A and B are shown apart, each in its own frame.
Chain A
Amino acid sequence: MSESIIHRFLNYIEIVGSLTVKLAEGAGYYFALLIESLAWIIVGPFYKQPVRIPSIFSQMMTIGIAACPIVFILSFSIGVMLAIQMIYNLKTFGAESQVVVGVALSITREFAPLITGILIAGRTGSALAAKLGTMQVNQEIDALRVMGINPVRYLVSPALLAMLIMVPILTFFSDIAGLLGGALYTGVEIGLSFSAYVDRTIAALMVGDIMQGLFKSLVFALIITLVGASNGFSVTGGAEGVGKATTRSVVLSISFIVIADMIFTYFLNR
Protein backbone atom coordinates (compact mmCIF):
# COMPACT_ATOMS: atom_id res chain seq x y z
CA MET A 1 0.00 0.00 0.00
CA SER A 2 2.61 2.53 1.09
CA GLU A 3 4.77 1.41 -1.78
CA SER A 4 2.10 2.40 -4.31
CA ILE A 5 1.78 5.83 -2.66
CA ILE A 6 5.51 6.36 -2.96
CA HIS A 7 5.32 5.18 -6.54
CA ARG A 8 2.55 7.66 -7.34
CA PHE A 9 4.42 10.43 -5.58
CA LEU A 10 7.53 9.72 -7.64
CA ASN A 11 5.37 9.74 -10.76
CA TYR A 12 4.08 13.22 -9.94
CA ILE A 13 7.62 14.47 -9.39
CA GLU A 14 8.59 13.02 -12.74
CA ILE A 15 5.68 14.78 -14.46
CA VAL A 16 6.58 18.10 -12.82
CA GLY A 17 10.19 17.62 -13.84
CA SER A 18 9.45 16.85 -17.47
CA LEU A 19 6.99 19.77 -17.66
CA THR A 20 9.69 22.09 -16.34
CA VAL A 21 12.17 20.84 -18.90
CA LYS A 22 9.60 21.30 -21.68
CA LEU A 23 8.81 24.80 -20.49
CA ALA A 24 12.47 25.80 -20.38
CA GLU A 25 12.97 24.25 -23.81
CA GLY A 26 10.02 26.19 -25.24
CA ALA A 27 11.13 29.47 -23.71
CA GLY A 28 14.65 28.90 -25.02
CA TYR A 29 13.30 28.22 -28.52
CA TYR A 30 11.20 31.41 -28.54
CA PHE A 31 14.16 33.43 -27.35
CA ALA A 32 16.54 31.90 -29.92
CA LEU A 33 14.01 32.57 -32.68
CA LEU A 34 13.65 36.17 -31.54
CA ILE A 35 17.41 36.72 -31.49
CA GLU A 36 17.86 35.09 -34.89
CA SER A 37 15.13 37.05 -36.62
CA LEU A 38 16.32 40.32 -35.14
CA ALA A 39 19.90 39.45 -36.09
CA TRP A 40 18.90 38.92 -39.72
CA ILE A 41 17.16 42.30 -39.80
CA ILE A 42 20.30 44.02 -38.53
CA VAL A 43 23.27 42.11 -39.96
CA GLY A 44 21.61 40.41 -42.95
CA PRO A 45 22.55 43.19 -45.41
CA PHE A 46 26.25 42.83 -44.53
CA TYR A 47 26.17 39.16 -45.49
CA LYS A 48 24.33 39.91 -48.73
CA GLN A 49 21.26 38.24 -47.27
CA PRO A 50 19.02 41.18 -46.45
CA VAL A 51 15.43 40.98 -45.29
CA ARG A 52 13.49 42.00 -48.40
CA ILE A 53 11.62 45.29 -48.11
CA PRO A 54 8.78 44.26 -50.49
CA SER A 55 7.96 41.22 -48.40
CA ILE A 56 7.80 43.40 -45.28
CA PHE A 57 5.31 45.68 -47.02
CA SER A 58 3.19 42.85 -48.32
CA GLN A 59 3.09 41.42 -44.78
CA MET A 60 2.13 44.85 -43.46
CA MET A 61 -0.75 44.93 -45.93
CA THR A 62 -2.15 41.58 -44.83
CA ILE A 63 -1.49 42.07 -41.12
CA GLY A 64 -2.45 45.70 -40.87
CA ILE A 65 -4.50 47.24 -43.62
CA ALA A 66 -6.67 44.19 -44.19
CA ALA A 67 -7.43 43.97 -40.47
CA CYS A 68 -8.62 47.59 -40.20
CA PRO A 69 -12.36 46.98 -40.72
CA ILE A 70 -12.61 44.22 -38.14
CA VAL A 71 -10.47 46.16 -35.64
CA PHE A 72 -12.77 49.13 -36.12
CA ILE A 73 -15.95 47.12 -35.60
CA LEU A 74 -14.69 45.36 -32.48
CA SER A 75 -13.16 48.45 -30.88
CA PHE A 76 -16.22 50.55 -31.62
CA SER A 77 -18.40 47.91 -29.96
CA ILE A 78 -16.09 47.76 -26.96
CA GLY A 79 -16.30 51.56 -26.67
CA VAL A 80 -20.11 51.49 -26.73
CA MET A 81 -20.16 48.59 -24.28
CA LEU A 82 -17.86 50.41 -21.85
CA ALA A 83 -19.96 53.57 -22.03
CA ILE A 84 -23.14 51.59 -21.27
CA GLN A 85 -21.56 49.84 -18.30
CA MET A 86 -19.97 52.95 -16.87
CA ILE A 87 -23.05 55.13 -17.17
CA TYR A 88 -25.01 52.40 -15.41
CA ASN A 89 -22.41 52.17 -12.63
CA LEU A 90 -21.81 55.89 -12.24
CA LYS A 91 -25.55 56.56 -11.99
CA THR A 92 -25.42 55.14 -8.47
CA PHE A 93 -23.19 58.05 -7.53
CA GLY A 94 -24.95 60.55 -9.75
CA ALA A 95 -21.67 61.07 -11.62
CA GLU A 96 -22.66 60.03 -15.19
CA SER A 97 -20.59 62.82 -16.71
CA GLN A 98 -17.41 61.16 -15.43
CA VAL A 99 -18.00 58.44 -18.02
CA VAL A 100 -15.69 60.30 -20.40
CA VAL A 101 -12.65 59.83 -18.17
CA GLY A 102 -13.50 56.20 -17.48
CA VAL A 103 -13.90 55.27 -21.13
CA ALA A 104 -10.80 57.18 -22.21
CA LEU A 105 -8.53 55.54 -19.66
CA SER A 106 -9.90 52.01 -20.02
CA ILE A 107 -9.74 52.10 -23.81
CA THR A 108 -6.23 53.50 -24.21
CA ARG A 109 -4.60 51.66 -21.33
CA GLU A 110 -6.28 48.31 -21.56
CA PHE A 111 -8.98 47.46 -24.03
CA ALA A 112 -7.50 48.71 -27.30
CA PRO A 113 -4.17 46.82 -27.01
CA LEU A 114 -5.87 43.73 -25.62
CA ILE A 115 -8.61 43.46 -28.24
CA THR A 116 -6.14 44.22 -31.04
CA GLY A 117 -3.71 41.64 -29.68
CA ILE A 118 -6.35 38.94 -29.39
CA LEU A 119 -7.70 39.72 -32.84
CA ILE A 120 -4.26 39.65 -34.47
CA ALA A 121 -3.41 36.43 -32.62
CA GLY A 122 -6.48 34.80 -34.13
CA ARG A 123 -5.97 36.32 -37.54
CA THR A 124 -2.23 36.57 -38.16
CA GLY A 125 -0.71 34.24 -35.58
CA SER A 126 -2.81 31.34 -36.82
CA ALA A 127 -2.12 32.21 -40.45
CA LEU A 128 1.63 32.29 -39.77
CA ALA A 129 1.55 28.93 -38.00
CA ALA A 130 -0.55 27.36 -40.77
CA LYS A 131 1.66 28.78 -43.52
CA LEU A 132 4.95 27.68 -41.96
CA GLY A 133 3.44 24.33 -40.98
CA THR A 134 2.23 23.60 -44.49
CA MET A 135 5.59 24.64 -45.89
CA GLN A 136 7.32 22.33 -43.42
CA VAL A 137 5.07 19.41 -44.41
CA ASN A 138 5.60 20.05 -48.14
CA GLN A 139 9.39 20.22 -47.69
CA GLU A 140 9.29 23.86 -48.79
CA ILE A 141 11.32 24.85 -45.71
CA ASP A 142 13.95 22.23 -46.63
CA ALA A 143 13.92 23.52 -50.19
CA LEU A 144 14.59 27.06 -48.96
CA ARG A 145 17.45 25.85 -46.79
CA VAL A 146 19.16 23.91 -49.58
CA MET A 147 18.79 26.91 -51.87
CA GLY A 148 20.78 28.85 -49.29
CA ILE A 149 17.76 30.91 -48.24
CA ASN A 150 17.53 30.94 -44.48
CA PRO A 151 13.88 30.27 -43.56
CA VAL A 152 14.01 32.55 -40.52
CA ARG A 153 15.35 35.44 -42.57
CA TYR A 154 12.97 34.78 -45.46
CA LEU A 155 9.79 34.01 -43.54
CA VAL A 156 9.99 35.13 -39.91
CA SER A 157 11.99 38.38 -39.98
CA PRO A 158 9.66 40.21 -42.41
CA ALA A 159 6.62 39.06 -40.43
CA LEU A 160 8.20 40.16 -37.16
CA LEU A 161 9.11 43.58 -38.52
CA ALA A 162 5.68 44.04 -40.08
CA MET A 163 4.01 43.05 -36.82
CA LEU A 164 6.16 45.40 -34.73
CA ILE A 165 5.12 48.25 -37.02
CA MET A 166 1.49 47.39 -37.65
CA VAL A 167 0.21 46.17 -34.26
CA PRO A 168 0.93 49.49 -32.50
CA ILE A 169 -0.62 51.36 -35.44
CA LEU A 170 -3.69 49.14 -35.27
CA THR A 171 -3.82 49.68 -31.51
CA PHE A 172 -3.84 53.43 -32.01
CA PHE A 173 -6.56 53.02 -34.61
CA SER A 174 -8.44 50.90 -32.10
CA ASP A 175 -8.03 53.67 -29.47
CA ILE A 176 -9.75 56.10 -31.81
CA ALA A 177 -12.50 53.68 -32.82
CA GLY A 178 -13.22 52.81 -29.17
CA LEU A 179 -13.36 56.45 -28.11
CA LEU A 180 -15.65 57.16 -31.04
CA GLY A 181 -18.00 54.41 -29.89
CA GLY A 182 -17.97 55.80 -26.36
CA ALA A 183 -18.62 59.32 -27.63
CA LEU A 184 -21.59 58.33 -29.77
CA TYR A 185 -23.31 56.35 -27.03
CA THR A 186 -22.64 59.01 -24.39
CA GLY A 187 -24.04 61.64 -26.74
CA VAL A 188 -27.27 59.72 -27.19
CA GLU A 189 -27.64 58.64 -23.55
CA ILE A 190 -26.75 61.73 -21.52
CA GLY A 191 -26.79 64.36 -24.27
CA LEU A 192 -23.10 65.29 -24.15
CA SER A 193 -22.06 66.95 -27.39
CA PHE A 194 -19.36 65.37 -29.52
CA SER A 195 -16.97 68.30 -29.31
CA ALA A 196 -17.36 68.48 -25.54
CA TYR A 197 -16.63 64.76 -25.35
CA VAL A 198 -13.48 65.20 -27.43
CA ASP A 199 -12.32 68.15 -25.34
CA ARG A 200 -12.82 66.28 -22.10
CA THR A 201 -11.14 63.18 -23.43
CA ILE A 202 -8.09 65.16 -24.48
CA ALA A 203 -8.02 66.83 -21.09
CA ALA A 204 -8.33 63.51 -19.28
CA LEU A 205 -5.71 61.61 -21.29
CA MET A 206 -2.00 61.91 -20.79
CA VAL A 207 0.60 60.85 -23.30
CA GLY A 208 1.63 58.15 -20.86
CA ASP A 209 -1.79 56.50 -21.03
CA ILE A 210 -1.57 56.01 -24.78
CA MET A 211 2.11 55.06 -24.63
CA GLN A 212 1.34 52.38 -22.07
CA GLY A 213 -1.12 50.78 -24.47
CA LEU A 214 1.26 51.06 -27.41
CA PHE A 215 4.12 49.56 -25.43
CA LYS A 216 1.98 46.59 -24.49
CA SER A 217 0.97 46.15 -28.12
CA LEU A 218 4.66 45.87 -29.07
CA VAL A 219 5.05 43.03 -26.58
CA PHE A 220 1.92 41.36 -27.98
CA ALA A 221 3.32 41.63 -31.51
CA LEU A 222 6.47 39.79 -30.38
CA ILE A 223 4.45 37.10 -28.62
CA ILE A 224 2.13 36.47 -31.57
CA THR A 225 4.93 36.24 -34.13
CA LEU A 226 7.20 34.02 -32.05
CA VAL A 227 4.46 31.65 -30.92
CA GLY A 228 3.01 31.39 -34.43
CA ALA A 229 6.37 30.87 -36.11
CA SER A 230 7.74 28.35 -33.64
CA ASN A 231 4.55 26.30 -33.72
CA GLY A 232 4.61 26.37 -37.51
CA PHE A 233 8.24 25.27 -37.74
CA SER A 234 7.70 22.42 -35.31
CA VAL A 235 4.88 20.80 -37.29
CA THR A 236 5.20 17.07 -37.83
CA GLY A 237 2.65 14.64 -39.15
CA GLY A 238 0.96 16.15 -42.16
CA ALA A 239 -2.31 18.05 -42.38
CA GLU A 240 -3.43 17.04 -38.91
CA GLY A 241 -0.20 18.41 -37.48
CA VAL A 242 -0.81 21.73 -39.24
CA GLY A 243 -4.29 21.94 -37.70
CA LYS A 244 -2.95 21.17 -34.24
CA ALA A 245 -0.15 23.72 -34.56
CA THR A 246 -2.59 26.39 -35.69
CA THR A 247 -4.93 25.78 -32.77
CA ARG A 248 -2.06 25.63 -30.32
CA SER A 249 -0.55 28.85 -31.59
CA VAL A 250 -3.84 30.75 -31.17
CA VAL A 251 -4.54 29.37 -27.70
CA LEU A 252 -0.96 29.91 -26.54
CA SER A 253 -0.65 33.44 -27.93
CA ILE A 254 -3.95 34.56 -26.42
CA SER A 255 -2.98 33.05 -23.05
CA PHE A 256 0.47 34.64 -23.16
CA ILE A 257 -1.06 37.97 -24.19
CA VAL A 258 -3.49 38.05 -21.28
CA ILE A 259 -0.83 36.98 -18.78
CA ALA A 260 1.74 39.42 -20.16
CA ASP A 261 -0.92 42.13 -20.05
CA MET A 262 -1.48 41.48 -16.37
CA ILE A 263 2.24 41.53 -15.59
CA PHE A 264 2.96 44.69 -17.59
CA THR A 265 -0.08 46.49 -16.21
CA TYR A 266 1.16 45.74 -12.71
CA PHE A 267 4.65 47.06 -13.35
CA LEU A 268 3.64 50.03 -15.49
CA ASN A 269 1.30 51.30 -12.78
CA ARG A 270 3.67 51.08 -9.81
Chain B
Amino acid sequence: MQENKKNVAIEVNDLVTHYGPRKILDGINLTVSEGEIMIIMGGSGSGKSTLLRYLLGLGIPTSGSIKLLGKDITKLNANEMFELRKNMGVAFQGGALLSSMTIGENVKLPLREHTELNEKTMDIMARMKLEVVNLGGFEELMPSELSGGMIKRAAVARAIVMDPKLMFFDEPSAGLDPVVSAELDDLILRLRDAMNMTIVVVTHELDSAFKIADRITVLDRGHILMSDTVEEIKNSDNERIQSLLNRRPSNDMINADEYLSRLTGM
Protein backbone atom coordinates (compact mmCIF):
# COMPACT_ATOMS: atom_id res chain seq x y z
CA MET B 1 0.00 0.00 0.00
CA GLN B 2 1.37 3.35 -1.02
CA GLU B 3 -0.62 5.34 1.53
CA ASN B 4 1.14 3.78 4.49
CA LYS B 5 4.40 5.45 3.56
CA LYS B 6 2.87 8.91 3.60
CA ASN B 7 2.21 10.96 6.70
CA VAL B 8 -1.25 10.92 8.16
CA ALA B 9 -3.00 14.29 7.90
CA ILE B 10 -6.35 13.45 9.46
CA GLU B 11 -7.00 10.75 11.98
CA VAL B 12 -10.39 10.15 13.58
CA ASN B 13 -10.69 7.60 16.37
CA ASP B 14 -13.94 6.19 17.77
CA LEU B 15 -15.85 9.42 17.22
CA VAL B 16 -19.29 9.43 18.84
CA THR B 17 -21.54 12.45 18.64
CA HIS B 18 -25.06 13.29 19.73
CA TYR B 19 -27.60 15.86 18.63
CA GLY B 20 -29.66 16.29 21.77
CA PRO B 21 -30.44 12.75 22.90
CA ARG B 22 -30.11 11.36 19.37
CA LYS B 23 -26.88 9.59 18.44
CA ILE B 24 -25.70 10.85 15.05
CA LEU B 25 -22.22 9.38 14.63
CA ASP B 26 -21.29 6.10 16.23
CA GLY B 27 -17.71 4.92 16.43
CA ILE B 28 -16.21 6.61 13.37
CA ASN B 29 -12.62 5.65 12.52
CA LEU B 30 -11.02 7.39 9.59
CA THR B 31 -7.54 8.26 8.38
CA VAL B 32 -6.59 10.51 5.50
CA SER B 33 -2.99 10.66 4.30
CA GLU B 34 -1.18 13.80 3.24
CA GLY B 35 -1.96 14.78 -0.33
CA GLU B 36 -4.89 12.41 -0.55
CA ILE B 37 -8.38 13.21 -1.78
CA MET B 38 -10.90 11.53 0.49
CA ILE B 39 -14.56 11.53 -0.47
CA ILE B 40 -17.14 11.10 2.26
CA MET B 41 -20.27 9.72 0.71
CA GLY B 42 -23.65 8.69 2.01
CA GLY B 43 -27.34 9.30 1.65
CA SER B 44 -29.23 12.12 3.32
CA GLY B 45 -29.21 11.73 7.08
CA SER B 46 -26.21 9.42 7.00
CA GLY B 47 -24.25 11.84 9.17
CA LYS B 48 -21.78 13.00 6.54
CA SER B 49 -22.45 16.70 7.07
CA THR B 50 -22.22 16.14 10.82
CA LEU B 51 -18.87 14.40 10.40
CA LEU B 52 -17.62 17.40 8.44
CA ARG B 53 -18.80 19.82 11.15
CA TYR B 54 -16.79 17.89 13.72
CA LEU B 55 -13.74 17.67 11.48
CA LEU B 56 -13.90 21.46 11.25
CA GLY B 57 -13.99 21.75 15.03
CA LEU B 58 -17.49 23.27 15.02
CA GLY B 59 -18.87 20.87 17.61
CA ILE B 60 -17.78 19.10 20.77
CA PRO B 61 -18.00 15.31 20.35
CA THR B 62 -19.38 13.03 23.03
CA SER B 63 -16.27 10.88 22.88
CA GLY B 64 -13.40 9.98 20.60
CA SER B 65 -10.55 12.02 19.13
CA ILE B 66 -10.02 13.98 15.93
CA LYS B 67 -6.40 14.61 14.97
CA LEU B 68 -5.69 17.20 12.29
CA LEU B 69 -2.04 17.52 11.28
CA GLY B 70 -1.10 15.55 14.39
CA LYS B 71 -3.05 17.73 16.83
CA ASP B 72 -6.12 16.46 18.64
CA ILE B 73 -8.65 19.24 18.12
CA THR B 74 -10.88 17.96 20.92
CA LYS B 75 -8.13 18.83 23.40
CA LEU B 76 -6.63 22.01 21.93
CA ASN B 77 -7.06 25.32 23.72
CA ALA B 78 -8.47 28.34 21.90
CA ASN B 79 -5.06 29.70 20.96
CA GLU B 80 -3.71 26.43 19.53
CA MET B 81 -6.97 25.98 17.62
CA PHE B 82 -6.57 29.51 16.25
CA GLU B 83 -3.12 28.61 14.93
CA LEU B 84 -4.37 25.33 13.45
CA ARG B 85 -7.23 27.06 11.66
CA LYS B 86 -4.76 29.03 9.58
CA ASN B 87 -3.84 25.70 7.99
CA MET B 88 -7.42 24.78 7.18
CA GLY B 89 -9.58 25.94 4.31
CA VAL B 90 -13.28 25.26 3.91
CA ALA B 91 -15.59 25.74 0.96
CA PHE B 92 -19.13 25.66 2.31
CA GLN B 93 -22.10 24.38 0.36
CA GLY B 94 -23.62 27.81 -0.22
CA GLY B 95 -20.24 29.55 -0.41
CA ALA B 96 -20.87 31.45 2.84
CA LEU B 97 -19.22 34.58 1.50
CA LEU B 98 -19.88 37.59 3.71
CA SER B 99 -22.67 39.32 1.81
CA SER B 100 -21.70 42.78 3.04
CA MET B 101 -18.29 42.68 1.31
CA THR B 102 -17.06 42.52 -2.26
CA ILE B 103 -15.55 39.30 -3.61
CA GLY B 104 -12.08 40.81 -3.31
CA GLU B 105 -12.63 41.84 0.31
CA ASN B 106 -13.98 38.39 1.07
CA VAL B 107 -10.89 36.70 -0.35
CA LYS B 108 -8.62 39.15 1.48
CA LEU B 109 -10.40 38.65 4.81
CA PRO B 110 -8.18 35.82 6.16
CA LEU B 111 -5.06 37.72 5.10
CA ARG B 112 -6.30 40.88 6.77
CA GLU B 113 -7.05 39.04 10.01
CA HIS B 114 -4.06 36.74 10.20
CA THR B 115 -1.18 38.53 8.50
CA GLU B 116 0.50 41.91 8.65
CA LEU B 117 0.82 42.26 4.89
CA ASN B 118 0.28 45.63 3.32
CA GLU B 119 -2.78 46.41 1.23
CA LYS B 120 -1.02 46.08 -2.16
CA THR B 121 0.38 42.64 -1.38
CA MET B 122 -2.98 41.45 -0.15
CA ASP B 123 -4.60 42.76 -3.36
CA ILE B 124 -2.12 40.84 -5.47
CA MET B 125 -2.51 37.64 -3.49
CA ALA B 126 -6.30 37.85 -3.65
CA ARG B 127 -6.17 38.38 -7.42
CA MET B 128 -3.79 35.43 -7.80
CA LYS B 129 -6.19 33.14 -5.97
CA LEU B 130 -9.14 34.46 -7.94
CA GLU B 131 -7.20 33.69 -11.13
CA VAL B 132 -6.69 30.13 -9.88
CA VAL B 133 -10.46 29.68 -9.74
CA ASN B 134 -11.00 31.56 -13.04
CA LEU B 135 -12.60 34.58 -11.44
CA GLY B 136 -9.98 37.16 -12.40
CA GLY B 137 -11.48 40.65 -12.63
CA PHE B 138 -14.51 39.92 -10.48
CA GLU B 139 -13.07 41.29 -7.23
CA GLU B 140 -15.18 44.46 -7.23
CA LEU B 141 -18.52 42.64 -7.47
CA MET B 142 -20.73 41.80 -4.52
CA PRO B 143 -21.59 38.13 -3.81
CA SER B 144 -25.24 38.80 -4.70
CA GLU B 145 -24.16 39.73 -8.24
CA LEU B 146 -22.57 36.33 -8.89
CA SER B 147 -24.08 33.03 -10.00
CA GLY B 148 -24.11 29.99 -7.72
CA GLY B 149 -21.12 28.38 -9.39
CA MET B 150 -19.10 31.59 -9.26
CA ILE B 151 -19.88 32.03 -5.57
CA LYS B 152 -18.63 28.52 -4.87
CA ARG B 153 -15.42 29.21 -6.78
CA ALA B 154 -14.95 32.52 -4.95
CA ALA B 155 -15.40 30.62 -1.70
CA VAL B 156 -12.63 28.25 -2.83
CA ALA B 157 -10.41 31.25 -3.54
CA ARG B 158 -11.03 32.55 -0.02
CA ALA B 159 -10.37 29.11 1.45
CA ILE B 160 -7.00 28.74 -0.29
CA VAL B 161 -5.75 32.28 0.18
CA MET B 162 -3.70 31.27 3.25
CA ASP B 163 -2.28 28.23 1.38
CA PRO B 164 -3.79 25.73 3.80
CA LYS B 165 -2.56 22.17 4.16
CA LEU B 166 -6.06 20.82 4.70
CA MET B 167 -8.97 21.65 2.47
CA PHE B 168 -12.61 20.68 3.04
CA PHE B 169 -15.41 20.85 0.50
CA ASP B 170 -19.07 20.56 1.48
CA GLU B 171 -21.20 19.34 -1.45
CA PRO B 172 -19.19 21.16 -4.13
CA SER B 173 -21.47 20.09 -6.96
CA ALA B 174 -24.83 20.54 -5.25
CA GLY B 175 -27.07 22.80 -7.29
CA LEU B 176 -24.64 23.23 -10.17
CA ASP B 177 -25.05 22.20 -13.79
CA PRO B 178 -22.86 19.29 -15.00
CA VAL B 179 -20.35 21.51 -16.81
CA VAL B 180 -19.71 23.82 -13.86
CA SER B 181 -19.58 20.90 -11.48
CA ALA B 182 -17.00 19.16 -13.73
CA GLU B 183 -14.95 22.36 -13.67
CA LEU B 184 -15.01 22.33 -9.89
CA ASP B 185 -13.84 18.70 -9.91
CA ASP B 186 -10.89 19.69 -12.08
CA LEU B 187 -10.16 22.56 -9.75
CA ILE B 188 -10.06 20.20 -6.76
CA LEU B 189 -7.64 17.90 -8.60
CA ARG B 190 -5.49 20.86 -9.63
CA LEU B 191 -5.31 22.13 -6.04
CA ARG B 192 -4.06 18.79 -4.85
CA ASP B 193 -1.50 18.46 -7.63
CA ALA B 194 -0.24 22.04 -7.49
CA MET B 195 -0.26 22.64 -3.75
CA ASN B 196 -0.19 19.09 -2.39
CA MET B 197 -3.19 19.74 -0.22
CA THR B 198 -5.01 17.06 1.71
CA ILE B 199 -8.60 17.31 0.57
CA VAL B 200 -11.79 16.00 2.12
CA VAL B 201 -14.94 16.26 0.02
CA VAL B 202 -18.42 15.54 1.29
CA THR B 203 -20.74 14.73 -1.56
CA HIS B 204 -23.40 12.41 -2.84
CA GLU B 205 -22.65 12.99 -6.53
CA LEU B 206 -21.35 9.63 -7.73
CA ASP B 207 -19.76 10.78 -11.00
CA SER B 208 -17.77 13.51 -9.34
CA ALA B 209 -16.78 11.21 -6.47
CA PHE B 210 -15.43 8.51 -8.80
CA LYS B 211 -13.57 11.07 -10.86
CA ILE B 212 -11.59 12.78 -8.13
CA ALA B 213 -11.38 10.30 -5.26
CA ASP B 214 -8.26 8.50 -4.10
CA ARG B 215 -10.37 6.78 -1.51
CA ILE B 216 -14.06 6.86 -0.66
CA THR B 217 -15.63 6.51 2.77
CA VAL B 218 -19.26 5.46 2.74
CA LEU B 219 -21.31 6.55 5.74
CA ASP B 220 -24.65 5.07 6.60
CA ARG B 221 -26.77 5.92 9.66
CA GLY B 222 -23.77 7.14 11.61
CA HIS B 223 -21.54 4.17 10.83
CA ILE B 224 -18.76 3.77 8.30
CA LEU B 225 -19.74 1.00 5.91
CA MET B 226 -16.49 0.98 4.00
CA SER B 227 -13.44 3.13 3.46
CA ASP B 228 -11.48 2.10 0.39
CA THR B 229 -10.38 2.88 -3.14
CA VAL B 230 -12.85 3.59 -5.92
CA GLU B 231 -12.40 0.10 -7.42
CA GLU B 232 -13.02 -1.67 -4.14
CA ILE B 233 -16.10 0.45 -3.45
CA LYS B 234 -17.50 -0.34 -6.89
CA ASN B 235 -16.88 -4.05 -6.40
CA SER B 236 -18.26 -4.11 -2.90
CA ASP B 237 -21.01 -6.65 -2.31
CA ASN B 238 -22.50 -4.67 0.57
CA GLU B 239 -26.15 -4.24 -0.22
CA ARG B 240 -26.49 -0.67 1.02
CA ILE B 241 -23.42 0.49 -0.87
CA GLN B 242 -24.77 -1.05 -4.03
CA SER B 243 -28.13 0.65 -3.41
CA LEU B 244 -26.32 3.96 -3.15
CA LEU B 245 -24.22 3.32 -6.26
CA ASN B 246 -27.09 2.08 -8.40
CA ARG B 247 -29.70 4.53 -7.14
CA ARG B 248 -31.88 1.73 -5.82
CA PRO B 249 -34.47 2.73 -3.25
CA SER B 250 -33.71 1.05 0.03
CA ASN B 251 -36.34 -1.60 0.77
CA ASP B 252 -36.02 -2.19 4.44
CA MET B 253 -38.44 -4.68 5.90
CA ILE B 254 -41.10 -2.99 7.97
CA ASN B 255 -41.60 -4.39 11.42
CA ALA B 256 -45.40 -4.55 11.71
CA ASP B 257 -45.58 -4.11 15.46
CA GLU B 258 -43.18 -1.16 15.56
CA TYR B 259 -44.99 0.46 12.64
CA LEU B 260 -48.33 0.15 14.38
CA SER B 261 -46.97 1.55 17.64
CA ARG B 262 -45.40 4.49 15.81
CA LEU B 263 -48.69 5.30 14.11
CA THR B 264 -50.82 5.08 17.22
CA GLY B 265 -48.19 6.82 19.34
CA MET B 266 -48.51 4.20 22.08
A interface residues, Cβ below 8 angstroms from B = 47, 49, 131, 134-135, 138-140, 142-149, 154
Contacts and interface: CB of A to CB of B under 8 A. Distances in A.
Nearest 5 A-B pairs (CB), nearest first? A148-B85, A143-B96, A139-B96, A146-B90, A139-B92
B119 to A, nearest CB: 12
A92 to B, nearest CB: 56
B99 A140 contact: yes
Interface stretch (B38-46, B107-115, B229-237, B255-263): B107-115
A148 B97 contact: no
Contacts of B90: 143, 146-147
A147 B113 contact: yes
B58 A147 contact: no
Contacts of B86: 148
Nearest to A145: B58
Contact of A142 (B58, B88, B113): B58
A49 B82 contact: yes
Contacts of A140: 96-99
Contact of B94 (A138, A145, A147): A138
B79 interface: yes
26 contacts: A47-B79, A49-B113, A135-B99, A139-B92, A139-B93, A139-B94, A139-B96, A140-B99, A142-B56, A142-B58, A143-B97, A143-B98, A143-B155, A144-B98, A146-B56, A146-B57, A146-B85, A146-B88, A146-B90, A147-B85, A148-B81, A148-B85, A148-B113, A149-B109, A149-B110, A149-B113
A142 B98 contact: no
Most B CB within 10 A of own CB, among A47, A135, A144, A148:
A148
B145 to A, nearest CB: 16
A142 B56 CA distance: 9
B199 to A, nearest CB: 15
A135 B96 CA distance: 8
A33 B76 CA distance: 22
Contacts of A145: 58
Given A49-B82, A138-B96, A148-B86, 12 more contacts: A47-B79, A139-B92, A139-B93, A142-B56, A143-B90, A143-B96, A146-B57, A148-B81, A148-B85, A148-B110, A149-B110, A149-B113
